[in-house]
Chain A
Amino acid sequence: MTEEEPTPADVDSDQDVISRILAGERDAFAMLIGRYSDPLYRHALGMTGSPDVAEDILQTSFIKAYHHLGEVRGRFDAWLFRIVANGCKDWLKNIRRTHLSYDEDDQPSTFASPDEDLDRTELRQDLDSALAQLAPSLREAFIMKHVEGRSYEEMADLLATTVGALKMRVHRAREALQTLLEEKYD
């Protein structure tokens, strides 16, 4: 840790920030956006497969959260996660999807050679296609474990379920993805 980095005591807790917003300091809400937008964006992107939809869900969720800040009981991050996760599930229920993939313009490639880039794009599309075939709860579990890098305990906390149930979902998701991808990539 460098000297410039704030210590935990220097950083306002979510509850402190919420109190300031509720007292009329609207701009403090930007702190909460800064803290949580990246992991939530990755979740929405993983669930929907579309950067545009992920942005819409995130924007709607944060606005909803702002209007209901006074109702937060317990952990703000878990409460906010549920708003985003429900937004993703609602979208999945309502949309009739054919094929979705990441927009290359939105996420510029960092790979050196064109061949490597092509391989990567193909793998990305195949993984998206395979993920789209999973049931939403399995996709959610896989994304949280492998894309967001969360522990089973953290996932259980956020989804209000047991570690055992989540392990089962992740295992099933892996087995399904393995079956869908191994023929091509074996």
Chain B
Amino acid sequence: MSAPTADISIQLARQEGWNRPPVIEPDGEGELLELAMGPHHPSTHGVFRMDVALDGERVVRLKPVFGYLHRNHEKIAESTSYLASMPYTDRLDYFCSLTNNWAYALAVEKLVGQEVPERAEYLRVILAEFTRIQNHASSIGFLLQEMGASGTPLMYAFREREKILDLFESLTGSRMMCNYMRFGGCRVDASPAWLDAARKVVAELPEFVDEFESFLRTNEILTARTQGMGILRPELAVNAGITGPMLRASGVNYDIRKVDRYGIYDRFKFRVPLGDHWDIYDRYMVRMLEMRESIGILEQALKDIPGGPVMDPKAKIRGFRPKPGEAYGRIEAPKGELGFYLISDGSPNPYRYRVRPPSLINLTVLEDMCLGHNVADVVLIFGSVDIVLGEVDR
């Protein structure tokens, strides 16, 4: 299904308020029950609150409340040097620290016009795809946990995730807060032993994805609860700035790896899975299929990785002062489009440092998807958006 063309959006735009959430009239008698789901909640992926107004069990109004994990990242970055902000970017989407690092490094490299050596680009792709696999596996595991599966699929996902995190630890030094990318390449080189260990892990991954998929795909509870639920129309998705697997499950073919072709992604053959029914089940399937595509990219990258330096010899680590200017760099993070907007005024600290958080923007349409459904479905719909609070609140 191709992207909705501008013609459709022109027709829809003529209707006033087409992109606002629908208004649901309560049909029972009596008052609405106003419930605060969160911030202490096992299923809200962090400290997050949703103020829902219920008519019986039906959701009539839903307002998300943010800011419980606001750590002032953007203001801290204005008083820290560019290099010292790199460990803070790890902690934005704390599941996927390497893609956060890459997005920031890409934005700074655009700001100064820095080149990256080829081996570093290959390493970046390899680590980003590993990150994507472990993020999607965990996200599906968490979705099933919210459905009541008591953690078994989650532990299966975590078993594979442990192998990937062990790889990260032996290369970057830390399992989750990797702090590995630098402006102009990567921090240290990967030894041939590490590449062999990575190939071994990749060889075991298809079997895991098969096992994972086979014991979930026809599960009646999953299909009954997720099919036809939480439908997001493609024109609303585009207008609301949704990106990532949620957008592709709504049938819009927009993957930044294919559109911007940043790094060396144009050298790899991979497909972009799209959804037909725009519901939670499609989002789950898109993530499953993207895991398979990532395995394909990993096999290609691990086969073709060349030798050479991993850091541009002209890149500066200390005393890094970019010329005045601004840049916006973005990548396809596992959760969506992660972008960094930097304004430099010639000093060692950025003048303005802005993170475009995919999780926050994907939550714009939470209300639209949840209205009219039961409270039990709110948790599932919210889980299918796949957010991390570190990114929402920064």
> Bound pair: A and B?
no
